[in-house]
Amino acid sequence: MDIVQRYIYAVTQKLPEGQREDIRLELQGLIEDMLDERTQGEPATAYDIEAVLRELGSPQELADKYRPRPRYLIGPAFFEVYISILRIVMISIVIGITVSFGVQALINPAEMLQHFINYIISMMTTGVQGFAWVTVAFAIIEYAGVRPKNKNKREWSLADLPEIPDRRLLIKRSEPIVGIIFSVLFAVLFTFSVELIGVIVFRENLREVVPIFNVENFARYLPLIWGLTALSILKESVKMIFRKWTRGVMLFHVAFNAATFILLVIMFKDSAVWNPYFIEQLVQLSILTPGSEAFEWVESIWNSGGNWFIAIVAIVTVIDIVTVCLKVYPIHKGAVENIRNH
């Protein structure tokens, strides 16, 4: 019976450790019962044992049957959506890096070769990152067991027909696509071209950029930006899978937007990320004249620009959260009429 123990060992070693002993005993009893049924009380031969084990199938196949769900990094239920989102992310990366390369080449054409080398390197490294973002996001969705209603049912019946959803709850396919494109372009811009965010000056013999941000200090927040991009892809992927607003999708959307706002406040409240010589450089390039009305106006905006930016982001975030919440939990018509009457 050594071959039986080897077979049982091959099956149980592919299962979680906490299940191995119970399944070992179950398999032992199952094989003995199958042998008794086959031999009708006669001693089992090596041929009988081999026939029973072949009937049970390969250890890998039998182990898969004992698992609560198949082991997939990305299962067939999500694979088509995964490929679609991966394609969107890669196209966005190509567009973002190509535009960045074009602007850099236009500003400093003397270093065209270096720009091209950086372009190729950036395309490769960001492409790998984009692939990782999407794959990890879908692996999390798969591992968490996220499924739209009735997705796991194999036998179909009339009771499985879904209710026709309220049109307000439907998520247009373009919405998550635009969200992904915006997130990826945002990440590409701040990763490779943050020095281009500012005032671009084109004159006869002068092509200069006065950056808004301090490039060296801003680099400390790049892991934060990459993390936000990955979470944004995860959020939009969930929306593309469900295609309608549910309570779970709403909560995930609200939590992500709230976390994004908090992290942006932390980042842009840090005075070290802003270019401390912004006004001075504008003066040196003769864009501003000290004491002029334009100088006073720009300086005033610059000194309070971070607060204004945070206020705008806060307003947009609140409007988005309230809009989504009202879609899932609409105000009763009677309540709306009472509000209007008062």
pLDDT by residue for the chain (342 residues), tens digit each? Answer: 678 888 888 888 878 778 888 888 999 899 888 888 888 878 888 888 888 888 888 888 888 777 766 666 777 777 888 888 889 999 988 988 898 888 777 777 777 788 788 889 888 888 898 898 888 888 888 777 666 554 444 554 555 555 656 677 788 888 889 988 988 888 888 888 888 888 887 766 667 888 888 988 888 888 888 888 888 888 888 888 888 888 888 998 999 888 889 888 888 888 888 998 889 988 888 888 888 888 888 888 888 877 888 889 899 999 989 988 888 877 544 444 444 454
Backbone dihedral angles phi then psi of residue 77, each to the nearest 5 degrees: -65, -30
Containing structural domain, residue 103: 76-146+168-341
Please name every residue paired with 209 in a beta bridge, in sequence order, or none if there are none.
200
Report the domain count for the chain: 2
Please report, as a single letter, which amino acid is at residue 14: K
Q: 195 and 235: one domain? A: yes
pLDDT at 165: 60
Q: 37 and 175: one domain? A: no
Q: 8 and 122: one domain? A: no
Q: 61 and 209: one domain? A: no
* 13 belongs to a structural domain: yes
Neighbours of 324 (CB within 10 A): 17
Neighbours of 273 (CB within 10 A): 20
pLDDT at 117: 87
From 25, 44, 66, give the residue that closes a domain.
Answer: 66
pLDDT at 337: 47
Q: Which residues contact 269 (CB under 8 A, 6 or more apart)?
A: 306, 310
pLDDT at 339: 43
Neighbours of 259 (CB within 10 A): 13
Q: 192 and 324: one domain? A: yes
